Amino acid sequence: MFVGHFAVAYILWRLFPQVPLPVILISVSFPDLLWSFLVPAGVERVRIDPDSPLQKFIVFEKFPYSHSLVLGTFLSIILGSFLGLAMNNILVIPVFALGSASHWLLDTIVHLRDLPVLGFDGDTKVGLGLWKRGVLAFLVEIVFYVCVSAIALSGFSLLYALLLGGVFHGINANSFLGKGKKNSVKSSNSYAGLALIGFGAFTALATFLI
Ligand SMILES: [Zn+2]
């Protein structure tokens, strides 16, 4: 999931306007940002299918630090505490943890059963697997994004949010609909790099426009 995470950021910003939007955008991206560093570091593992770009064929072999509810949220509290102290804003800590946990919760809708709950070996793994139905997953994510954005934002902020979401979801379309015979992403490291660029670019543009 990509744009769907940012819709939750808008809602959190609406609820807690004392926390700057970029901090909230980073909080909902935190699991994937962390993951994009831990994959090339060899700490977490993902296997892509060279023959298909579809999300459902990506095997997330191991990502206990970035994508578990308990350990991941704990790590987000640590980073949130640094940010909260640096900004002299205690509210940053719970809002950052909420944003990060919301990422895990939304991921459980689309991921196959690969998301760890605790983050330790022998852990329970969850995932409802909406990615198995690519067209439906594509529609559900953009409808969710549009509806939640419309609740949270208004005026030009809403307009820019919808434009941003539409463009990025469109760029992502092949991973849902994947008519291509081959996967243009050649390695797990480039897949992690793309995630970093995607989340980074969206956060920068949303900060600038919204
Ligand atoms: Zn994720």
Neighbours of 122 (CB within 10 A): 6
- Confidence at residue 93, expressed as pLDDT on a 0 to 100 scale: 98
- 104 alpha carbon – ligand 1 mean position (Å): 7
| 57-84: average pLDDT | 97
- Confidence at residue 145, expressed as pLDDT on a 0 to 100 scale: 98
- 25 alpha carbon – ligand 1 mean position (Å): 14
* pLDDT band (50, 70, 90) for residue 142: very high
- Please check the confidence at residue 7 and state whether its pLDDT lies above 70: yes
Q: What is the dihedral of CA 140, 142, 144, 150, to 10 degrees?
A: -160
- Confidence at residue 182, expressed as pLDDT on a 0 to 100 scale: 83
* pLDDT band (50, 70, 90) for residue 175: very high
Total residues found in the chain within this entry: 210
- 15 alpha carbon – ligand 1 mean position (Å): 23
Question: pLDDT of 24-55, one tens digit each?
Answer: 999 999 999 999 999 999 999 999 998 899 99
- Please check the confidence at residue 167 and state whether its pLDDT lies above 90: yes
- 50 alpha carbon – ligand 1 mean position (Å): 21
- 36 alpha carbon – ligand 1 mean position (Å): 10
Decide if 195 contacts 175 (C-beta within 8 A). no
- 137 alpha carbon – ligand 1 mean position (Å): 15
Q: What is the dihedral of CA 69, 7, 196, 164, to 10 degrees?
A: 170
Q: Please, which residues have CB within 8 angstroms of residue 15's CB and are 6 or more apart in sequence?
A: none
The larger pLDDT score, comparing residue 50 to residue 158, is at: 158
- Please check the confidence at residue 179 and state whether its pLDDT lies above 80: no
Question: pLDDT of 94-115, one tens digit each?
Answer: 999 999 999 999 999 999 999 9
Q: Residue holding tokens 């980074």?
A: 200
**Mean pLDDT across the chain:** 96
Q: Is 125 helix (H, G, I), strand (E, B) or coil?
A: strand
Angle at 88 between CA 83 and CA 89, to 5 degrees: 75
Q: Please, which residues have CB within 8 angstroms of residue 47's CB and are 6 or more apart in sequence?
A: 58, 59, 61, 188
- Please check the confidence at residue 177 and state whether its pLDDT lies above 90: yes
Distance between first and last Cα of the chain: 21
The larger pLDDT score, comparing residue 183 to residue 148, is at: 148
- For residue 75, give the amino acid letter: L
- Confidence at residue 147, expressed as pLDDT on a 0 to 100 scale: 98
- 158 alpha carbon – ligand 1 mean position (Å): 24
Question: pLDDT of 113-131, one tens digit each?
Answer: 999 999 987 899 999 999 9
